[in-house]
Each structure stands twice: as structure tokens, then as C-alpha cells.
């Protein structure tokens, strides 16, 4: 379907048409009666890093989780509107949620490796998705995924050790490798560095810069500096609404909306 779209930020000068990997149209998300996301429309470009910023509690994680139906696991959550991946509605009955979550992978705030070996952490997904026909295939996927996540050299001699025995930063790269192993198209990251020290954070940020050559990446971050460093597009959320979306440089240097300006100049948040 139509993949050439002009995103909402087209009003910004110099904003070109981009390949949209995902689109959200008039999306609202409720927890029971409470509306946490109010009528958000956005297109997420391929091979870009899109950052969601805004004060705590403004709905960034809620919206991120709607992009791979992670909200399905919360009984009170309800999503209205349309979210498409490559033009295909992800909330229709025909969409297999397990397959969707492989195509739109997720990395969480706190690294959450399985209590299994490093090897099995990576091999599990490809096994259940039938991506490997032999042990040799699986070995290759494990190595490739760990290499792409910048972890191979550090763990290649101890693949049978438990994933939980790694440092926090290594665990987060293991979780990224696990997401990569099932060949995703989009990787969602919910404050992936908030539990990490500055050195581990810098490694993840470098990794994000490399990964965007292959995937569309969406990152929720409470750090404006991180958004400015890693993303090419930034969406500013406030009180459940997406106030402004555009090229990251514009959002930080020339925001159109007063509320964005107030946030980036530290007037609240």
C-alpha cells in the first residue's frame, strides 16, 4: 500500500516525503474511563529514529505499547483509531499478535533477559518462529544478532552462561540482540537507558545509530539530550496529546508550539 507519505511535520520547511513504516490515525487509548492518549496521528518513517519526549505520565509509553499491541496484556486498556504496519491494520482479527510482536520488537526500561543461557536468550525467538532449520542455522542467527548488538566479542566464549549474570548494559544489549534475532522491521524502546550508567548508555546510543540503517526505531526517553543525540524525528507529548512532531533539530531549536518551547527550555517536566 501507500508507503510514501508526508508526515505531520510537512509544515516544517525542508521536510521531505519519507517512507512510512507505521502510521497511526486518530488513535486514542483508554484505561477504563481514563483517556491516556487523545487523538494522536503520526507516521513513523523507516530507517529513522523517532523519539517520543514529554513530561512523565503524558502517555508516551502507552502510545508506544499501542504500536505492537502490548496494551492487549492490560485488561482495562482499549485502543481506538487505526494503527498500520506497512499499510496493514494491526488491530484487525487477522493479525497474529505473536507475529506482530516479532515484526515490531520491544526493548524495556529494565533489561529483562530470560533466566536462561545467553545462547538460549537469542535462540528462543528464532526457534518458535521457525526461522532456523538446523543447529547450524541457529548458531549463525545467534552470532549475527549478538554481533549486531555489539555484544559478540564480550560473550562469545561464555554463551552457556546465564544472561542474568551479565552487567546491566550487557543485559540490555542482550535484549536488543534478542529483539533483532527474529528479524524485526521496527524496534520500540521504552527508556532503554534509564537503568544504565553513562558508559553503558553511550554504547546503547551508538548501537541505536547503527541499527537505524536496518530498522525503524522508536524510542521513549525522558532525556531531551538523548533525544537530540539519537533521533532524527521527535514527537512532543503533553497530557495525552501529541503537541508537535517534526525533525529533531527543528523541535529543539525552532519549535512551533509554546508548550514545546516551555518543555525544552525546562519550564516544566
Nearer to ligand ADP, 15 or 195 (CB): 195
State the nearest-atom distance from the C-beta of 191 to ligand ADP, in Å.
Answer: 8
CB of 66 to ligand ADP, least distance (A): 10
Task: Report the distance separating Cα 150 and Cα 252, nearest Å.
Answer: 30
Which long-range CB contacts under 8 A does 32-37 form with residues at least 24 apart? 32/76, 35/240, 36/62, 36/240, 37/62, 37/63, 37/66, 37/240
Binding-site size for ligand ADP (CB under 6 A) equals 12
List all residues 6 or more positions away from 176 whose beta carbon is below 8 Å from its beta carbon: 107, 149, 187, 192, 204, 207, 211
Q: Write down the least CB distance from residue 194 to ligand ADP, Å.
A: 11
Minimum CB distance to ligand ADP smaller for 58 or for 243 = 58
Nearer to ligand ADP, 119 or 245 (CB): 245
Q: Which CB sits closer to ligand ADP, 214 or 241? A: 241
Residue recorded with cell 522508536:
218
Distance of closest approach, residue 152 Cβ to ligand ADP, in angstroms: 32
- In whole angstroms, the minimum distance from the beta carbon of 190 to ligand ADP comes to 8
Binding to ligand ADP (CB under 6 A) within 12-71 occurs at 31, 36, 54, 56-62
Query: Is 74 among the residues that bind ligand ADP (CB under 6 A)?
Result: yes
Which CB, 214 or 222, lies closer to ligand ADP? Answer: 222
CB atoms within 10 A of CB 199: 8
Q: Please say which residue, 37 or 138, places its beta carbon nearer to ligand ADP.
A: 37
Q: How far is the CB of 100 from ligand ADP (least distance, A)?
A: 20
Which H/E stretch holds residue 155? helix 152-155
Distance CA 33, CA 102 (A): 30
H/E stretch holding 259:
helix 258-264
Query: Where is 3: in which H helix or E strand?
Result: none
Residues in contact with ligand ADP by CB under 6 A are: 31, 36, 54, 56-62, 74, 76
Amino acid at each position: 500500500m501507500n508507503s510514501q507519505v508526508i508526515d505531520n511535520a510537512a509544515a516544517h520547511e525542508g521536510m521531505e516525503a519519507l517512507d512510512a513504516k507505521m502510521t497511526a490515525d486518530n488513535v486514542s487509548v483508554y484505561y477504563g474511563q481514563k483517556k491516556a492518549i487523545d487523538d494522536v496521528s503520526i507516521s513513523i518513517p523507516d530507517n529513522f529514529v523517532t523519539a517520543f519526549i514529554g513530561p512523565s505520565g503524558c502517555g508516551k509509553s502507552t502510545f508506544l505499547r499501542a504500536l505492537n499491541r502490548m496494551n492487549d496484556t492490560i485488561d482495562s486498556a482499549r485502543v481506538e483509531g487505526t494503527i498500520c504496519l506497512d499499510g496493514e491494520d494491526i488491530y484487525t482479527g487477522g493479525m497474529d499478535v505473536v507475529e506482530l510482536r516479532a515484526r515490531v520488537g520491544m526493548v524495556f526500561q529494565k533489561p529483562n533477559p530470560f533466566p536462561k543461557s545467553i545462547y538460549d536468550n537469542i535462540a528462543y525467538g528464532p526457534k518458535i518462529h521457525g526461522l532456523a532449520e538446523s543447529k547450524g542455522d541457529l548458531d549463525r542467527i545467534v552470532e549475527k544478532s549478538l554481533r549486531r548488538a555489539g555484544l559478540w566479542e564480550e560473550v562469545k566464549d561464555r554463551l552457556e552462561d546465564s544472561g542474568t549474570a551479565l552487567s546491566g548494559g550487557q543485559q540490555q544489549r542482550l535484549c536488543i540482540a534478542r529483539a533483532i534475532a527474529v528479524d524485526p522491521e521496527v524496534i520500540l524502546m521504552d527508556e532503554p537507558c534509564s537503568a544504565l550508567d553513562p558508559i553503558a548508555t553511550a554504547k546503547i546510543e551508538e548501537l541505536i545509530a547503527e541499527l537505524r540503517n536496518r530498522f525503524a526505531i522508536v524510542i521513549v526517553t525522558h532525556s531531551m539530550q538523548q533525544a537530540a543525540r539519537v533521533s532524527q524525528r521527535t514527537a512532543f507529548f503533553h497530557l495525552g496529546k501529541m503537541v508537535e512532531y517534526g525533525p529533531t533539530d527543528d523541535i529543539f531549536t525552532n519549535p512551533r508550539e509554546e508548550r514545546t518551547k516551555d518543555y525544552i527550555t525546562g519550564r516544566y517536566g
